[in-house]
Chains A and B, each alone.
Chain A
Amino acid sequence: MIVQLSHPQRQVEIKGPKRTKELLRELNLVIEAHLVIRGDDLVTEDEMLADADQIEIRPVISGGSLG
């Protein structure tokens, strides 16, 4: 499956089928800091992702002033 990542923008190809949480673990990403989107829809950690799926892993953390 093609996986779109941000910060920086890049694409990686990962062999499926694979559960969402396994995909995140393989990419060394923390669930609490990311959303996994298939097409236009959010998917949960137990969802099985297929080779043909278009996946976006979107970071949710924003930084800035502690002020």
Chain B
Amino acid sequence: MNCTKCPTSTKAVISLPRHNAAFCKDCFTTFVHEQVARAIKSFKMFTPADRILVAVSGGKDSLALWHILLNLGYRADALYVNLGIGSYSEESHRKVQHYAETVAAAHSATLLVHVVEQEAGAGIRELANILHRPTCSTCGTIKRYQFNRAAVEQNYDVMATGHNLDDEAARLLGNVLHWQEEYLDKQSPTLPASVEGFAKKVKPLCRLSEREIAAYAVVNRIDYIVEECPMAKGSKMLLYKEVLNRLETESPGTKQRFYWGFLDKQNKPDAPTESMAEKDQRTLAPCLSCGQPTTADTCSYCKMMAKAKSVPAR
């Protein structure tokens, strides 16, 4: 398979069925940068003058995000929250530190670190036990709080997270399955600093799938932690992603249509609502042949029967 973009048709390293394309290393890196630049522009995330705080975990998404923003010329520092999950946290901390020293420092970017155990007196597992709450939800609360606090206290203009298309599609699926309408507003890729004390939050990777971001990290030699967080095993998020990936394999573009379609509907100004009865009365009229309601002159049934009768019997 060759690259569908470059004129010399170099050998491709990845094919993207949802874009009907395949890319070599250089064209793929350009494609990812363009997708992020489009998200930043279309959702008015930030400008080159803004100071950005990236929430990094040592995983592919957050390190790739930091890498992309630095390469696009943005002023992006990062915050790592050490959750105290034994060897997993030690390894992820090492990966972040290594990236900060070997790559980010050359862009004059700084890494900030918060250690949960130093402030809370216990790691995330112990805190979840004490509070009788699921570990993932305790973790989410602590990370959101610490990232927001750091962004506000250290005067960053915006906080960026590595949420990708798969994260947002899976979250949307979860919210829709349980009709959690109150959470839908928070699925926008840009959340404003709505009140004093809240930082503006953005998701610049929202146009890219998890696989595309992992591929970007491999192609650009970003050393991230491949191991899954031991606390996430059996999470609903993984189940929703698995279901969506099965659909995506059968029908490329499903995740994109699901999430982007939601965003399109969310961005449209409220149209006057029309009841089903009002819509039917506006669009339907009696079929000229049988009299049953139809949107056309002749209903589908009458058309089908007319066609069937026109074919000679065998």
Chain A contacts to B: CB under 8 angstroms: 6-7, 30-35, 37, 41-47, 58-67
A32 to B226, CA, bound (A): 16
The interface-forming segment of B38-46, B188-196, B244-252, B261-269 is B244-252
Quick check: A35 and B232 within 8 Å, CB to CB?
no
Contacts of A33 in B (CB 8 A): 211, 241-242, 245
- Fill in one digit per residue for B154-186: 1 if any A CB lies within 8 Å of its CB, else 0: 000000000000100011001100000000000
- Once the chains are docked, how many angstroms separate the CA of A46 from the CA of B209? 21
B1 near A42: Cβ-Cβ < 8 Å: no
How many B residues are at the interface, by size bracket? 35 or more
What residues on B are CB-neighbors of A45 within 8 Å? 1, 15
CB distance from A23 to the nearest CB of B (A): 15
Q: Are A63 and B241 in contact (CB under 8 A)?
A: yes
A7 & B228 in contact (Cβ 8 Å cutoff): yes
- In addition to A41-B13, A61-B210, 20 A-B residue pairs with Cβ atoms within 8 Å of each other are A30-B242, A30-B246, A30-B249, A31-B249, A32-B211, A33-B242, A34-B211, A35-B215, A35-B218, A42-B218, A44-B12, A46-B1, A60-B213, A62-B210, A62-B232, A64-B139, A64-B231, A65-B139, A65-B237, A66-B171
Chain A residue contacts of B144, Cβ below 8 A: 67
Q: A31-B249, A32-B211, A42-B218 are in contact. Are A64 and B1 (CB under 8 A)?
A: no
CA distance in complex: A45, B15 (Å):
8
Cβ distance A8 to chain B, nearest Cβ, rounded Å:
10
Output the least CB separation between B128 and chain A (Å): 12
